[in-house]
Amino acid sequence: MKGLTIIKVGGKIVEEEGSLQQLLTDFSKIDGHKILVHGGGRLASTIAGQLGIESRMVDGRRITDEATLQVVTMVYAGLVNKKIVAGLQALQVNALGLTGADMNLIRAAKRPVLQVDYGFAGDVKEVNTSALSLLLQNGYVPVLSPLTHDKKGLLLNTNADTIAAETAKALSVLFDVTLIYCFEKSGVLLDENDETSVIPLLDRDLYADYKAEGIIHGGMIPKLDNAFLAIDAGVKQVVITKASAIAENKGTVIRGSL
């Protein structure tokens, strides 16, 4: 199978001119098929504030009421997505900016109300592998914004990490997929205060040991749990690294077994 690299980048990286340009330059140098999944939450909050719309979060997840849905659609699918596409086109990358509604790429369901009503938040139910494969095989580079749809006319705000993971899982039946999560650290660290203490390779046994010893804890645990779920679903490997390191193959590589 041919290789496919899926990179997920957070809002801070794509919202600042310097880091965005470096990311796009590095991304343009990746060989083979590739997909970029982006966020944009900080900018959405800023613009919402300018419009007098309060941004509400619960455990890091945005409450998406009707007014907020309009803002995130404008910011994610509009300003952020098209800046990325224009930047990649300038680097001779034939990028195509998309939401989950375009080509029916990602169908989701409105999240049910349990302890919290997240409003127009979507949980991914299906990824259109044939449509994405068609784009990739014809030389296009999809740039996915964190919006999906329910195929009944409703747009839904959907976590970008989830979109990246579900897309990687779905396409793993057609490609050898490497999923790269970019965040603020250089990888999974033995010492969270030492950026040079990156764990280069991680499998389930090592992960269990490091958790038991308290070396891996807190917010890194759900990231790694999701990474191993992706591996279970057929993704070849997951990499956690800094955006500035994607061209250097640095960071923590996660595999089912070493």
Which element (helix H / strand E) includes 133? helix 129-137
Kindly indicate the confidence band of residue 258, based on its pLDDT and cuts at 50, 70 and 90.
low
- For the stretch 228-237, pLDDT in tens is 989 999 999 9
Residue 62 to residue 95: CA distance in whole angstroms: 28
Mean pLDDT of the residues in the chain: 92
Question: What fold does the segment set 34-163 form as a domain?
Answer: Carbamate kinase (3.40.1160)
- Please identify which residue in the block is written with the tokens 């919006």: 147
- For the stretch 96-133, pLDDT in tens is 999 999 999 999 999 999 889 999 999 999 999 999 99
Task: Answer for the pair 143, 87: CB distance below 8 angstroms, yes or no.
Answer: no
Beta bridge partners of 5: 34, 178
Which element (helix H / strand E) includes 148? strand 147-149
- For the stretch 244-256, pLDDT in tens is 888 777 899 998 7
